[in-house]
Chains A and B, each alone.
Chain A
């Protein structure tokens, strides 16, 4: 799998790590059930602190994209298909754009309700 980090990105590093893996799943770099490199390997390769990488990975676990299993390491969750990850990215972009334009999350949720 190929991971990309943009060094000019100003977001917190753990978010960047999560975004890179989210993108990798969305682009089919790693399929459901596939094992991810260990947090130690990822942190060495990306030249980041292990805790930063772990924080990004936990974020993805909470989103349901990754599964942490004892003895099996970190795997891509069975439900985390590429479209789902792609949708996650779009939702994040939407939330970021809304907050830039001055809309709150509640405003955005109302908008989504109205549109359906």
Chain B
């Protein structure tokens, strides 16, 4: 049911070959750069700086070229292997992870070679400060670019929606559903208790403030994030679909019926979307609180789906589709 990404097969093959080619090119560049310049480089290269302009770590020329290339290849291989059968085929996050990493490695290698160029000894090499900044900026740009390209390459037409629910002209139907994850709820409750305890300790001065502050702040953030993402409510009415999070129903996301392209029910597993909570993956956005039935909608003008794990999703989707048919949207 989830292997619906049948379209764009050729595009996916092109993406795969681009990935293989790019990986090989980065490995060759990282390994080859010091070798090409070996006449102008010292025997050992300065490879590490700890803030100051003087280096505090070095490597022989051969390992300075081989080690980063090997790290890169192992990383690329580890990310490309399909560890779990339940993982979906087109994983758009692979290029998103690899592109910035490759840029960082190539940039670091260029910086190291430049810093050591024409030096007699590695101790004379100076920290390539602004090269690091440029490399990081380029890596960020590469990540954004890869993300945009990957989303485009794996974008698929939405799967066929659930058949419409029988809806009489003068009938008003509303559908409610909700899910909660007791594990996440108790986790956030425990974090909340720890935060309160740490706050009390701060007030009473039981421990140095420097150690209690991070505990208090961290646990408070964890408790808030946990309570917001541990329960979800879905509501379908004539106003459209409303998904609200947490015990207070805030934050919430809303779509009118004509803002949706289609709605369907689907079985999804946490292993398919990368875990529990608010997840971004090759399947789009998933609010995953438990394995099983998910209500999946495709917002109009978007390239990916929004899914939320709620019971009885089939009828929610059917009602949404019936409401869409009743209110003529754009392009109908």
Contacts and interface: CB of A to CB of B under 8 A. Distances in A.
Interface of A: 1-8, 37, 41-42, 44-47
A37 B178 CA distance: 9
B315 A45 contact: no
Contacts of A5: 171-173
Contact of B170 (A1, A2, A8, A37): A8
24 contacts: A1-B176, A1-B177, A2-B173, A2-B174, A2-B175, A2-B319, A3-B173, A3-B174, A3-B176, A4-B171, A6-B170, A6-B171, A6-B172, A7-B171, A8-B170, A37-B235, A41-B176, A41-B235, A41-B249, A42-B174, A45-B235, A46-B237, A47-B172, A47-B237
B238 interface: yes
Given A4-B172, A45-B235, 6 more contacts: A2-B174, A2-B175, A7-B172, A37-B233, A45-B176, A45-B237
Nearest to A47: B238
Give chain A's interface secondary structure class: mixed
Interface of B: 168, 170-177, 233, 235, 237-239, 249, 312, 315, 319
Contacts of B172: 4-7, 46-47
Contacts of A44: 237, 239
B298 to A, nearest CB: 22
B311 to A, nearest CB: 10
B242 to A, nearest CB: 8
A45 B171 contact: no
A26 B219 CA distance: 45
B313 to A, nearest CB: 12
A41 B173 CA distance: 14
A47 B238 CA distance: 9
A45 B170 contact: no
Nearest to A35: B178
A42 B239 CA distance: 13
Given A37-B235, A45-B237, A4 B173 contact: yes
A44 B239 CA distance: 9
Contacts of B176: 1, 3, 37, 41, 45
Nearest to A4: B173
A60 B45 CA distance: 81
Contacts of A46: 172, 174, 237
Contacts of B315: 2
A44 B252 CA distance: 14
Contacts of A45: 174, 176, 235, 237, 239
Contacts of A8: 170
Nearest to B315: A2
A1 B178 CA distance: 10
Nearest to B177: A1
Contacts of B174: 2-3, 42, 45-46
A5 B237 CA distance: 12
Q: Residue among A8, A41, A46 with the most chain B CB within 10 A?
A: A41
B175 A1 contact: yes
A46 B171 CA distance: 11
A5 B238 CA distance: 12
B84 to A, nearest CB: 34
Contacts of B319: 2
Task: Across the A-B interface, give the 4 residue pairs with the lowest CB-CB distance, nearest first.
Answer: A45-B237, A45-B174, A5-B172, A7-B170
B295 to A, nearest CB: 14
